[in-house]
Amino acid sequence: MKREENPMSRLTKLTKGAAAAALLAATSLFGVSAEAKTTIRVQSVIPNTADEVVMLQDFADDVKALTDGEVEFEILPAGAVVGVQEILDAVDAGLIDGGFAWTHYWSGKHPAAMLFGSPVAGAGIGIDNIAFMSWYLNAGGKELYDQLWKEMGVNVKGFMLQPVGPEALGWFKEPITTMDDFRKYRFRTPPGIPGQTYKDIGVASVAMGGGDILPALEKGTIDAAEWCCPKPDSVFGFQKVLKHYYLQGLHQVVVNADLYLNGDVFDALTPLQQKAIEVAANASLMKAMAYRINENGKALDKLINEDGVELHDTPAEYFTEYMAAANAALEKNAAENAFFKQVWDSQKEFARTAVPYWAQAQRTNANLGAAYADTLKKQ
Gap between the Cα atoms of 348 and 191, Å rounded? 24
Strand duo 38-44 + 71-76: pairing: parallel
Gap between the Cα atoms of 188 and 345, Å rounded? 30
Q: Are 210 and 236 in contact (CB under 8 A)?
A: yes
Q: Are 225 and 187 in contact (CB under 8 A)?
A: yes
Angle, helices 193-200 vs 316-336, to 10°: value is 120
Which of 195, 56, 52, 207 is CA-nearest to residue 114?
Answer: 195
Residue type, position 335, single letter: A
C-alpha dist (Å) from residue 81 to 14, 17, 101, 161 = 50, 45, 15, 22
Gap between the Cα atoms of 155 and 91, Å rounded? 8
Where do runs of H (alpha helix) occur along the chain?
A: 7-30, 51-66, 87-93, 113-117, 129-138, 141-152, 179-182, 193-200, 210-219, 230-236, 263-267, 271-305, 316-336, 338-377
The binding site for Na(+) comprises 227
The binding site for substrate comprises 167, 188, 226, 252
Q: Which residues pair with 25 in a beta bridge?
A: none
Gap between the Cα atoms of 175 and 173, Å rounded? 7
Q: Are 106 and 152 in contact (CB under 8 A)?
A: yes
Which of 201, 220, 223 is CA-nearest to residue 315?
Answer: 201
C-alpha triplet 131, 134, 140: angle, nearest 5°:
125
The binding site comprises 167, 188, 226-227, 252
